[in-house]
Amino acid sequence: MNPEIWRRSPVSFDRRPAQTETRDNWMVVLKYEDESEGPYLIDLSPRTRWDVQDSHLAEIRPGGVPIPDKPGQCTFQKGILVNRMNRTQAAVWHLTGETPEPPAHAAYTDVTESTVFLALVGRRVFAITEKLTSLDFLDPARSAPFLLQGPFSHVPCQVVTLEKSPDRAGILLTCSRGYARDLVAAILDAGEEFGLRPAGQIAFHNWLEELGY
């Protein structure tokens, strides 16, 4: 990576960072000032994301992780979340913070810088999402993690329910980066009555550890 080229997240919170680091030319916020108990909205945009399109997805294993058979299914292994979108397409999200290079295969496209990536985690998460979408993140017929695709605050999104338990609930969502400002503003406004606040990457790592990932 050219050290003179800075990569910038489309997300900007009105909070003062308490701890940051530079990672692969991204300025990553590890912690914000005044991070009390959640729920939290966390910017994961610097984390690597790939789009995979091929007519033979069963033969492709991103990072050694199998792509699920059916749309809506997800596989979470080795810190990699693989989401089956349709017959020929899957999304690959690297949740550990590592930045691997895309494999030398025509099926892969790196979409990290063209999209926004957010986590909404903690108590009352689904009370917040009810104000923003009709997507059912608590579908009793589906076990987490699972993928839904549709409007979230009127924005076309991919959304994964990663945990449904009330105290540690959480979703991950991504969409085109051009929607970032309005989407973040809508989520924070919907979550104000529940104490929703921005948090840094450390809070996300702690949440994953609590879930046993």
Q: Where are the domains of the chain?
A: 1-213
Tell me what percent of the residues of the chain surpass a pLDDT of 70.
99
Query: 149 and 158 in contact (C-beta within 8 Å)?
Result: yes
Tokens of 56: 């033979």
CA distances from 94 to 99, 158, 206 (A): 8, 15, 16
Whole-number mean pLDDT of the chain? Answer: 94
Is the pLDDT reported for residue 26 higher than 80?
yes
Arithmetic mean of pLDDT, 150-157: 97
For residue 211, the model assigns a pLDDT of 85
Is the pLDDT reported for residue 183 higher than 70?
yes
Query: 40 and 172 in contact (C-beta within 8 Å)?
Result: no
Q: What's the pLDDT tens digit per position in 79-132?
A: 999 999 999 999 999 998 778 888 888 999 999 999 999 999 999 999 999 999
Q: What's the pLDDT tens digit per position in 30-70?
A: 999 888 888 999 999 999 999 999 999 999 999 999 999 99
Spatial CB neighbours of 208, under 8 Å, sequence gap ≥ 6: 95
What confidence tier does 173 reach under pLDDT thresholds 50, 70, 90?
very high
Is the pLDDT reported for residue 4 higher than 80?
no
Rg of the chain taking only CA atoms, in angstroms: 16
Distance (Å, rounded) from C-alpha 30 to C-alpha 119?
14
Tokens of 121: 């985690």
3-state secondary structure of 129: helix
For residue 167, the model assigns a pLDDT of 83
* Predicted TM-score (pTM) above 0.75: yes
For residue 2, the model assigns a pLDDT of 57
Arithmetic mean of pLDDT, 168-173: 96
For residue 202, the model assigns a pLDDT of 95
CATH architecture of 1-213: 2-Layer Sandwich (3.30)
3-state secondary structure of 81: strand
For residue 1, the model assigns a pLDDT of 54
Query: 129 and 136 in contact (C-beta within 8 Å)?
Result: no
Is the pLDDT reported for residue 3 higher than 70?
no
